[in-house]
Each structure stands twice: as structure tokens, then as C-alpha cells.
Amino acid sequence: MRFLHNGCGPDREGEDAMTHQYKSARFDIDGDGIARFTMCKPEILNPLTDDLRDDFEAMVNTVEGNPDVKVLILAGEGRAFSAGGNVKGMAERKDAQAAQARTRLYDAHNWLQRLYNIDCPVIAAVDGLAYGGGFAFALVADFIFASEKARFCSVFGRIGLMPDLGVLYTLPRVVGMAAAKDLMFTCRSIDVEEAKALGIVHQIHRSETLMGAVDDFAARLAHSSKDAIAITKRTVNGAFESTYGDVVDAEANGQAVMFTTPFHKEAVRRFMAKEPSLYDWDRMTK
């Protein structure tokens, strides 16, 4: 384990001045390049407090562009992945100006948009409630693994808000317009089976085996070309609003770069030499 920033364990001495002190999440990167960001305020359902925002931002600062990270896993301790917005905080800020609310959202997107486009695959492990902002965090992941304990909810409208933290952007791209409106207008919660049927959840596992399944999946993804995943991810994330010509530009320029990568050159060498592939999911799953 190369990094350990444990915001929920016992106090540690001698923290490097450059090291963020995680308060509402644990963060580590293991020797296999798997980074884990685990929200760890289960007693209050991992709400989006200012501390958690700071932890997310610090994590993004560490992971983005970090060649040691191959896959990032987002998780939450206890019975919530994250219950989202901190209504108590809203109550305290109730006299704040609208302009401040606006600034808080732009501030959050400074790291959330970077997380959405971060240069490695991201898996959300949802073993409980993913409500509001918690739903938003799951939706910026590339894959959502969930257990029978998972429930998803675009809860914003229940308190007279619009969906935020990107849900209006991410959710329709996954479930289509009609289902997005259903979830956003009714603000009803859905269970894991419905979330799977809608395409939100990639795999369902029993709660006891969820993290093991996520770890196995991450270990496989870690064999991929980080460069190829990064450029594929950024391009597909913007694919719906892009014209054919926009995508051709991204593809032609991007692929030219990919042809220069050591991963590609080694993969071609192995192919010609009839050696085993660097990354072949079909064989890995056998």
C-alpha cells in the first residue's frame, strides 16, 4: 500500500504538510494500482458535508494524472453509499444569498467534472442508499456495482430543488429521457433490480460479496491501457452532444497518439508473435 489517508481511523502523527487530512472518507492506493475512496461517516449516512467535499477534491488531486492509479473505487460505509445533500447545512445557510448557493455548485463541479473525466475507470460500489448527491456520485462512475441493499433516488425535488451535481447531465445519457423524467419528477426511490433494468447498475451482488466482486472487476480493468481508457472515457462522456465530425476529430487525433504508446506497440508485437494478449477480457473471464 503506497498511500494511506485514513480520515476515519485513529489520529496519526507526523502527517506530511502536503498531505490532505481526510476527515469524512478513507483513501488509499494499493500496490496493484487500485485506489479506494470510502466515505466513512456511516452514522450520519455519508452526507455531502464541507469535509466530504474537501476529501473528494483532495482525492481527485491525487488520482488525476497519477500513473500509479489504474482503477478508482468509490464506496460508502454503513447503510448508505451517500445520502447526498446535507439538509442540516441547508437549514443553517437558509439566509445565505442565492449567489452563494450558485458559487457552492460551481465549486463542487471544479472537482466533480474532473472526477467524471478522470483518467482511469471508476467503479461505484453501492451497498445502501445513493440519494441525491449520493446518486450523483454513483453516476459519475463508469460502472455501478450494487447489492440488494442499494436504493437510488433523485431526491432533490422532495425539498423543492432541481437535480444538481450533474444528475441532469449524467442520468438521461444512461436511462433515456422518459425514465430520467420519471425519476426526476416523482423523486421516487428505486431498488437495485429496477436500477439494473434501467441500465444504471452494471452488476448486482449480494451485500456480503459486493466488495469482492468489485475488487475482481477492478483487478481485470487494471490490465487495460490507462492511456486508451483515459481518452476513450473523455470522448464517450461527451459523445451525445458531439457531432459526427467532432468525434472524428477526437478519434483521429487521439488514435494517432495511441499508436505511439508502449502498450499498443507491445500488444501488436504479441499479436504478431502469437503470444498471450496484455488485455483480453474474454479469456480473463474463463
Identify residues 27-86 at the interface with its own copies (CB under 8 A): none
For residue 272, state whether it binds its own copies (rule: CB under 8 A).
yes
Query: Is residue 204 within 8 Å of 148, Cβ to Cβ?
Result: yes
Chain positions 130 to 149 lying near its own copies, rule: CB under 8 A, are 142-144
For residue 260, state whether it binds its own copies (rule: CB under 8 A).
yes
Among 160, 274, 276, 286, binds its own copies (CB under 8 A): 160
Nearer to its own copies, 9 or 238 (CB): 238
3-class SS of residue 276: coil
Strand partners, 74: 37, 124
Query: Is residue 174 within 8 Å of 105, Cβ to Cβ?
Result: no
Nearer to its own copies, 62 or 224 (CB): 224
Residues near 107 by beta carbon (within 8 Å), at least 6 away in sequence: 53
Amino acid at 126: V
The C-alpha atoms of residue 128 and residue 151 are separated, in whole angstroms, by 6
User: Which CA distances in Å does 170 have to 12, 161, 258?
Assistant: 38, 17, 27
3-class SS of residue 130: strand
For residue 257, state whether it binds its own copies (rule: CB under 8 A).
yes
Question: End-to-end distance of the chain based on CA atoms, in angstroms?
Answer: 29
Residue 215 C-alpha cell reads as 475488487
Stretch (H or E) spanning 97: none
Nearer to its own copies, 12 or 281 (CB): 281
Nearer to its own copies, 58 or 221 (CB): 221
In the stretch 214-243, what mask flags binding to its own copies with x, by CB under 8 A?
Answer: ------xx--xx-xxx-xxx-xxxxxxxxx
The C-alpha atoms of residue 156 and residue 161 are separated, in whole angstroms, by 5
Give the distance from CA 102 to its chain's centroid.
23
Compute the least distance from the CB of residue 271 to its own copies, in Å.
5
Among 2, 116, 118, 119, binds its own copies (CB under 8 A): 116
In the stretch 161-200, what mask flags binding to its own copies with x, by CB under 8 A?
Answer: xxxxxx-xxx-xxxxxxxxxxx-xxxxxx---------xx
Judged by CB under 8 A, which stretch of 5-13, 31-39, 43-51, 265-273 contacts its own copies?
A: 265-273
For residue 250, state whether it binds its own copies (rule: CB under 8 A).
yes
Compute the least distance from the CB of residue 76 to its own copies, in Å.
20
Compute the least distance from the CB of residue 130 to its own copies, in Å.
14
Query: Is residue 258 within 8 Å of 230, Cβ to Cβ?
Result: no
For residue 101, state whether it binds its own copies (rule: CB under 8 A).
yes
User: Which CA distances in Å does 239 have to 124, 228, 243, 256?
Assistant: 22, 16, 8, 19
Nearer to its own copies, 77 or 237 (CB): 237
Compute the least distance from the CB of residue 31 to its own copies, in Å.
22
Among 15, 50, 159, 275, binds its own copies (CB under 8 A): 159
